A = this chain, B = another copy of it.
Amino acid sequence: MGMIGGGPGAFIGAVHRIAANMDGEIELVCGAFSSSAEKSKETGSALHLPANRVYESYEQMFMKEKELPDGERMDFVSIVTPNHLHFAPARMALENGFHVVLDKPMTFDLDEANKLAETVNRSGLLFCLTHTYAGYPMIKEARQQIKEERLGKIRKVYVEYPQGWLSEFLEGGENKQASWRTDRKKSGIAGAMGDIGTHAFNMAEYVTGLKVTKICADINIVVEGRQLDDDGAVLLKFNNGASGVLMATQVAAGEENNIKIRVYGEKGGIEWKQEDANTLLVKWLDRPVEIYRAGTGYVGKFAKHNSRTPGGHPEGYLEAFANHYRNFALTLQARMKGDEPKEEWVDFPGIEEGVRGMRFIEKVVESGGGREKWVAF
């Protein structure tokens, strides 16, 4: 694996590296960690990389790596830059024959997303979009139970993602994260809705297997002086007639990162929240709520495959993230060997999820600014 981005001060780059390391299936062999050659070197050295595999730019990396022999050359690239720097390196990677792991939201705007989709499809290469929360074993268990129609027809979806870290105006200060995530030139047309709303949206569609067809959004800039939305709520309609509510905010002072989903069908419901990530509550009309737990003998094959330890040994955010990397790597290894990958392995978010996420951003901003109640998705 090679990495683009993830230099000094980056949060998500370090997370990607831990996730890739965790299961011993992936080795970081090269990187272009910063637009500053200096900083790229510094990071490469801290990561114990040989100097000749630390590049000054991603363009250089692709060119040089391409020339390396099989087995030495990186197999895929992981791109962990801010949103405005996703599209160009991702496209270039694909055009040079490298598989791609990309951080979300997929691109700067929907137009780039559509172009990238075209490139991915044309290339026939593997593409993974790291919607972390879809990697949790109990999210996979929820999806499987719903797919098996244990809850009956789905009627209602509540998904929420409350954060509080942008409650104050942190832009332009030392907080690099706050600065680029609120910057229209780097993040695109949405703030909170792009950063975390897309996670919530992906989770709603992934868990239910449904597609959103109409939305009605209220989005707000709460902190004075901010360029982009830091708060919003969206009413949802799904393709089976179900309705839903999506809430995402970065000004819920005192909240950390507790993304949560509840889904209700004719016979019962499920509830999951990241704060208690190893637990899935399954609720029934006329009998006790059941507490499904990761790592136990009674969960389905998707949850099982995505756990490393027995019940009661909590796995968290980094393991969820690592699940995407592991599944991507297992799929890639199978492909390289000419084997059929297992159903559980290919279950990582891809280009379609990426395009839908970008459409979500566009439609939310459209609805937020309009006077009509419903906007078709």
In the bound complex, do residue A254 and residue B319 qualify as a contact, i.e. CB atoms below 8 Å apart? Answer: no
Q: Is A194 an interface residue (CB 8 A)?
A: no
Kindly state whether residue A286 has any CB partner on chain B within 8 Å. Answer: yes
B264 and A254 form a contact (CB under 8 A): yes
Check A372 for interface membership: any CB of B closer than 8 A: yes
CB atoms of A164 and B256 under 8 A apart: no
Chain B residue nearest in CB terms to A23: B18
Does A334 interact with chain B (Cβ within 8 Å)? no
- Excluding A253-B266, A371-B372, 7 further A-B contacts by CB distance (< 8 Å) are A18-B22, A233-B243, A253-B269, A256-B295, A257-B313, A276-B276, A316-B319
Given contacts A293-B288, A312-B274, A314-B274, contact A268 B253 (CB under 8 A): yes
B313 engages A164 (CB within 8 Å):
no
Contact A218-B233, Cβ < 8 Å, known A21-B24, A48-B24, A293-B256:
no
Is A204 an interface residue when CB atoms closer than 8 A count as contact?
no
CA distance A48 to B23 in the complex (A): 12
Looking at the complex, which of A72-80, A105-113, A150-158 is the stretch in contact with chain B? A150-158
Once the chains are docked, how many angstroms separate the CA of A28 from the CA of B314?
24
29 contacts between A and B (CB under 8 A): A18-B308, A22-B318, A24-B28, A155-B251, A158-B247, A164-B264, A165-B310, A233-B245, A251-B264, A252-B264, A252-B269, A253-B265, A253-B267, A253-B285, A254-B264, A254-B283, A254-B285, A255-B283, A257-B311, A257-B313, A275-B314, A289-B290, A309-B318, A314-B316, A316-B316, A318-B318, A318-B319, A370-B373, A371-B374
Distance, CA A125 to CA B13, complexed state (A): 35
Given A254-B268, A290-B290: A315 and B317 within 8 A (CB)?
yes
> Which chain B residues lie closer than 8 Å to A243 at the CB level?
218, 220, 231, 233
A337 within 8 A of B: no
Number of A interface residues in the complex (CB < 8 A): 87
> A265-308 vs B: 1/0 string, CB under 8 Å?
11111000011111000111111111111011110000000001
> Which residues of the other chain, B, contact A282 by a CB distance below 8 angstroms?
254, 288
Chain B residues with Cβ under 8 A from A164's Cβ? 264, 269, 283, 285
Chain B residues with CB below 8 A from A165, complex form: 310
